[in-house]
Amino acid sequence: MLARLFTAVAASSLVFGCASTHLPVVQAQAAPPRDRHVYRLDFVVASNDPGRPPENSAYTLNLEEWDSGEIRMGSNVALSPSAASSPRMDVGLKLRGSIRPAGDDLVFHGALEMSSREDTTIQKISADGDAVLTGGRSALVASLEDPLSHRHYQVTAAATKLR
The secondary structure of the chain, three-state, reads CHHHHHHHHHHHHHHHHHHHHCCCCCCCCCCCCCCCCEEEEEEEEEEECCCCCCEEEEEEEEEECCCEEEEEEEEEEECCCCCCCCCEEEEEEEEEEEEEEECCEEEEEEEEEEEEEECCEEEEEEEEEEEEECCCCCEEEEEEECCCCCCEEEEEEEEEECC
- Please state the pTM of the whole predicted model: 0.71
More confident residue, 80 or 155: 155
Q: Which domains does the chain have, with CATH numbers?
A: 38-161 (2.40.160)
Residues 78-133 have pLDDT tens digits of 877 676 777 888 889 999 999 999 999 999 999 999 988 877 778 889 999 999 99
Predicted confidence (pLDDT) at residue 4 exceeds the cutoff of 50? no
